[in-house]
Amino acid sequence: DYPFSKESRKGIDVIKDFIKDGDLDPFPTSTPDSFRDIGEKCRAKDPKNRPSTLRILESLRALGARDLK
């Protein structure tokens, strides 16, 4: 058996299908709402609706240390 044989890739295919179908794990309940909001935008099914890296960084900077306490 080879590590990347067709059989061993079934798990990866299951994960890819899971994500493609939009079945993402929920954020931990301890995640601050402001971070969850950013994360939800990043998870948008349509990539065109996802924020750019620059926009994500701007959002995180705007939060500052407020939510890190």
CA within 13 Å, CB half, 40: 10
pLDDT for 1 beyond 70? no
Residues 12-57 have pLDDT tens digits of 777 777 777 777 888 888 999 999 999 999 988 889 999 999 999 9
Amino acid 34: pLDDT: 92
Please tell me which residue, 3 or 36, carries the higher pLDDT value.
Answer: 36
Identify the pLDDT of residue 9.
Answer: 57
Report which of residues 23 and 58 the model is more confident about. Answer: 58
Give dist(CA 63, CA 50) in Å, integer.
Answer: 19
pLDDT at 16: 78
